[in-house]
Amino acid sequence: MSWKNDQVSRAETEKIIGLAKSVLDVEGDFVELGCYKGDTSLLLAEVVYEYNRGLLVEKSVDKVVEEVWKSGGKDVEETTGEKVRKRLWIYDSFEGLPEKRLEDESVLGEAFRAGELGVTKREVKERFLRAGLPVPVIKKGWFADLTGDEMPEKIALAFLDGDFYESIRDSLRLVASRISSGGVLIVHDYTNPALPGVKKAVDEWLKRQNVDYQIVLL
């Protein structure tokens, strides 16, 4: 699949996909909190799909894709009865960004306003169908309202891209204890001066952590 993303640079995307490939054998699923229109999600879905395909040998890949497509996007396991090794879970308000807090204020970040980056869950789902990829688990909601029940039990890769202080703080609360040993936590915009809340939330969290997985701050 070709690269096209107006939120994450090409170099960052390559880094994320490289990391995804490096943790395929780590226990747990992939999650992205703040998926927006799904540009990075599509690439992560492709990595997961390729990995799962290793177990879908009895049925041709074309057949699986055709079945998933016809079913309107049920996942591969449900459609074919085959065991899926890894899943992708993606999360968003699908109402755009929330309100900023004081921690997020920056003259460079004035374009990031509440309601920006709005897209519907349906539009995102349709992009997977058009790409011929199994639709991931897509959860709509504010991160502050999500509970552990809406997360995979174990996570091999977590990509956090919520832009604001509370969004990253709440994402960390949801994923941190579920990341497997040897897995990876990626936080986008940590070094972005337009979004200072991201660094603040991560730095506060890091002070309290002792982790056995990789932390990558982009």
Ligand X SMILES: C[S@@+](CC[C@H](N)C(=O)[O-])C[C@H]1O[C@@H](n2cnc3c(N)ncnc32)[C@H](O)[C@@H]1O
- Binding footprint of ligand X on the chain (CB under 6 A): 5, 7-8, 32, 34-36, 39-40, 92-93, 96-98, 117, 142-143, 161-164, 167, 170
CA angle 199/12/137 to nearest 5° reads 85
Nearer to ligand X, 76 or 135 (CB): 135
**SS3 of 21, please?**
helix
**SS3 of 57, please?**
coil
For residue 188, the minimal CB distance to ligand X (Å) is 7
For residue 110, the minimal CB distance to ligand X (Å) is 16
Instruction: Tell me the two tokens of residue 34.
Output: 């703040």
What are the C-alpha distances in Å from 125 to residues 31, 66, 75, 77? 16, 16, 12, 17
For residue 78, the minimal CB distance to ligand X (Å) is 26
CB 113 within 8 A of CB 97: yes
Among residues 48, 139, 60, the alpha carbon closest in space to that of 88 is found at: 48
Nearer to ligand X, 104 or 134 (CB): 104
For residue 164, the minimal CB distance to ligand X (Å) is 6
* Chain residue whose CB lies nearest ligand X: 34
Nearer to ligand X, 36 or 213 (CB): 36
For residue 211, the minimal CB distance to ligand X (Å) is 22
The C-alpha atoms of residue 34 and residue 187 are separated, in whole angstroms, by 11
Give the DSSP per-residue string, 2-20.
----SSS-HHHHHHHHHHH
Nearer to ligand X, 69 or 142 (CB): 142
Nearer to ligand X, 65 or 136 (CB): 136
Q: Which DSSP letter does residue 119 get? A: -
Nearer to ligand X, 162 or 183 (CB): 162
The C-alpha atoms of residue 30 and residue 88 are separated, in whole angstroms, by 5
For residue 102, the minimal CB distance to ligand X (Å) is 16
Q: Counting beta carbons within 10 angstroms of the beta carbon of residue 97, is it exposed (0 to 12), middle (13 to 18) or buried (19 or more)?
A: buried
